[in-house]
Chain A
Amino acid sequence: MSILINKDTKVIVQGITGRDGAFHTSKMKDYGTNIVGGISPGKGGSDVGGIPVFNTVGEAVKATNAEASVIFVPAPFAADAILEASFAGVGLVICITEGIPVQDMIKVTPILKQNGTKLIGANCPGLITPGECLIGILPSMIFTPGNIGFISRSGTLTYEVVNMLTEAGLGQTTCVGIGGDPVSGLYYRDLLEMFENDPATEAVVLIGEIGGDAEEQAAQYIKVHMKKPVVAFIAGQSAPAGKRMGHAGAIISSGSGTAEEKIKAFTAAGVPVAKEPGEIPGLVKQKLGL
């Protein structure tokens, strides 16, 4: 078992003919991901390495029954690509694109809710159910199947920690990179709920960062709703407070957002917080009684 994706998930690629889109499509296909089509307006009817290309997401969904779409469209057009997928009825959208204007994501948010679309990202590395399905740009070789759920806001730090887990014999059910943009799709809380309900997941590793209050909300959720153990790490404990945005930034966040506050929230929820990434595998083993 796993969350969100498995070996049967039918995936389409928006922006399949671009450089990054084409490169990562072949990587995903090599891993065994069930890529059923791609979208590139004006290039419908052609194919990329045997994968049929469609002009619109709607056509692709009609022809393939795709359930998930991964987006490699340039930033100025990425929000529109998310909306196109959502209105075509794709249930899970993964947006890899970096640098999307925040206002665009704010406009997209209520539409996703209205259409019942789950969004991962933007500005994220994607997600993987090891041995079954990889959607995004994650380096597949570091992952291995197992019983740890993994959620992170960062890219390479995810790889760093997953690699440590794998080397320590701790495989993963599903690993999700939720992305580091100020306004993004699924947050920790949403994914923790899925992991709690996934019979195969026995513990969750959560990698957070300074800023926002998604980690504090996660801690609150864990405290009230979760039976499975969670281990956390917060990046940015040494970042200076100087990079702030006028009074409004301080007012809106008052009392949350700093590494200190996040660690406090997790500790209060019974979640051990690693002082450095190297401690994570040990803390997980301790929690699992290994």
Chain B
Amino acid sequence: MKIHEYQARNLFKKYGIPVPDGVVCHSIEDVREKIPNDDKLRVIKAQVHVGGRGKAGGVKLARTREEAIEKAGQILGMDIKGLTVEKVLVAEAVDIEKEFYVGLINDRNSKSVTLMASAEGGVDIEEVAKTSPEKIIKLSIDPTLGLMDWQARKIALQLMNDPAQIRQAASILSKLYKLYIETDASLAEINPLVLTPDKRVLAIDGKMNFDDNALFRQSEVLAMREVTPDEQKEIDASEKGLSYIKLNGNIGCMVNGAGLAMATMDMIKLYGGEPANFLDIGGSSNPQKVIDAMNILLSDTSVKAVMINIFGGITRCDDVARGLVAALKSIHTDMPIVVRLSGTNSREGLEIIKEFGLPTVSTMSEAAKKAIQLSKRKV
């Protein structure tokens, strides 16, 4: 789960990580009300769940209150990569002497939370990682001991020179780790962490993601959730026991199992088609699940053909076939559908589908080719 920058800032503040003053505004009136009439330099930042907002014009500087109102008006309502900006963060702009990068992530390779830091902060940190990986400090944290003070200090020492700054930076690292663990985060970044000319260390921009598996015990985090329409579809699906991710192609896929669903998408691509989605219906022959899955696929207007790919394991193919037929009888659609069943009782299953009048195939590759062919049919 993702949160906005202003929400990450609120969490930073709660854990004692210093951030510049700022307020979140939903409208121009809001800006007028919340921003005092002075000549402080401010930065107006779009709050949307996509990267690259700076390049899209979603971050602007303002020298006066009037200018802040004007710039906020330009950003609010703006479209960034298909998302409408509904909120802006108006924050005090600070002078920067030096920029750093600090991040925490669940690293599957070392099976630990890994801290990363670099004296080369800013937006081009990924470029730094590619071209000069030695400039990124990495530390795998022992989950039992946590980030030890001396470790935080050691990293701070590699970033800063002055003892007071080192203390500030080390304390920020420790606080960020505490926040990360206590909220079941999967990512926490401060980019940039800055040093100001008056020698303060501040978090200018923050990004946090959270582990969906842990939301059951993170009610405060869950309360911050805001979803895009595509994500809403994914969440609705997951509430029905389905795992759905929208993609850009035109062949709808319904598969049991995530690995098989991925292999199905690969197969479609291999034969020159484009999958419209990833959809895993899990291991059940419950007709309601198939109906729900079908409704999701049919609500996507770009879908031109549907490929159903089921491998019957403990769930038998004839049960799945009966579920499919019951589902398709209740949904009236002209959508071309190809069904491929394999595994336990597949012969009986295919017989049921054939009787119902749908094309059936027995291998994945045939199914993919057939679905691609049907998707190109003129209506």
Chain A residues in contact with chain B, CB under 8 A?
A: 27, 75-76, 99-107, 109-110, 137-139, 141-142, 152-160, 163, 180, 182-183, 207, 209-214, 217, 233, 235-240, 243, 245-252, 254-255, 275-278
Interface pair B103/A248, CB less than 8 Å apart: yes
A154 touches B260 (CB 8 A): yes
Residue pair B216, A76 in contact (C-beta under 8 Å): yes
Once bound together, how far apart are the Cα atoms of A110 and B283, in whole Å? 33
B209 contacts the other chain (CB 8 A)? yes
B103 in contact with A141 (CB, 8 Å): no
15 contacting pairs across A/B (C-beta < 8 A): A76-B217, A101-B217, A106-B106, A110-B142, A110-B143, A139-B344, A155-B258, A156-B255, A160-B342, A160-B364, A183-B111, A247-B101, A248-B105, A251-B126, A252-B107
CA distance A237 to B342 in the complex (A): 23
Tell me the bound Cα distance from A27 to B257 in angstroms.
20
Chain B residues with CB under 8 Å of A27's CB are: 314
Interface 9-residue window, one of B39-47, B57-65, B181-189, B290-298: B181-189
Inter-chain CA distance A155–B299, complex, in Å, is 28
Chain A residue nearest to B102 in the complex (CB): A248
Most interface-central of A99, A141, A180, A277 (chain B CB within 10 A): A277
In the bound complex, how far is the Cα of B107 from the Cα of A207, in angstroms? 21
Say whether, besides A110-B142, A209-B259, A251 and B343 are in contact (CB < 8 Å). no
For B, the interface residue count at a CB cutoff of 8 angstroms equals: 67
B365 touches A278 (CB 8 A): yes
User: With the chains together, A239 CA to B249 CA distance in Å?
Assistant: 12
Also in contact, A157 and B143, with CB within 8 A (given A142-B343, A163-B343): no
Q: How far, in angstroms, from A200 to B51 measured CA to CA in the complex?
A: 52
CB-CB < 8 A to A138: which residues of B? 313
Q: Is the CB of B262 within 8 A of A251?
A: no
Q: Are the CB atoms of A157 and B259 closer together than 8 Å?
A: yes
Give the Cβ gap from B14 to chain A, nearest Cβ, in Å: 19
- Residue of B with least CB distance to A111: B144
- Closest chain-B Cβ to A99's Cβ sits at a distance in Å of 5
The 7 closest A-B pairs by CB, nearest first: A154-B259, A156-B257, A139-B313, A157-B259, A101-B214, A238-B269, A248-B103
B363 CB contacts on chain A under 8 angstroms: 278
Could you tell me the distance in whole angstroms from the C-beta of A240 to the nearest C-beta in chain B?
Answer: 6
Could you tell me which residues of chain B, from 228 to 270, have a CB within 8 Å of some CB in chain A? 245, 247-248, 255-260, 262-263, 265-270
Point out the residue from A163, A239, A247, A249 that lies within 8 Å of B265, measured CB to CB: A239
List residues of B whose CB falls within 8 A of some A CB: 51, 101, 103-109, 111-114, 116, 125-126, 129-130, 133, 136, 138, 142-144, 181, 184, 186-187, 189, 191, 207, 209, 211, 213-214, 216-217, 245, 247-248, 255-260, 262-263, 265-270, 275, 278, 283, 311-314, 342-344, 363-365
- Does B143 contact A276, Cβ atoms closer than 8 Å? no
Query: Which of B105, B116, B266 has most A Cβ within 10 Å?
Result: B266
Question: Which residue of chain A is the closest to B312 with respect to CB atoms?
Answer: A139
Please give, as numbers and ranges, the residues of chain B lying within 8 Å of A275 by CB-CB distance: 270
Contacts of A210 in B (CB 8 A): 262
Chain A residues with CB below 8 A from B143, complex form: 103, 106-107, 109-110
**Residues of chain A contacted by B265 (CB below 8 angstroms):** 236, 238-239
A276 adjacent to B314 (CB under 8 Å): no
A209 touches which one: B106, B184, B262, B312 (CB < 8 A)? Answer: B262
- A276-B267 CB under 8 A given contacts A157-B257, A247-B125: yes
- Known A153-B259, A154-B260, A160-B260: A250·B109 in contact at CB below 8 Å: no
Task: Report B-chain residues with C-beta under 8 Å of the C-beta of A246.
Answer: 51, 103, 187, 189, 207, 209
In whole angstroms, what is the CA distance A193 to B325 when docked? 46
Complex: chain B residue closest to A256, CB-CB: B109
B124 closest partner in A (C-beta)? A247
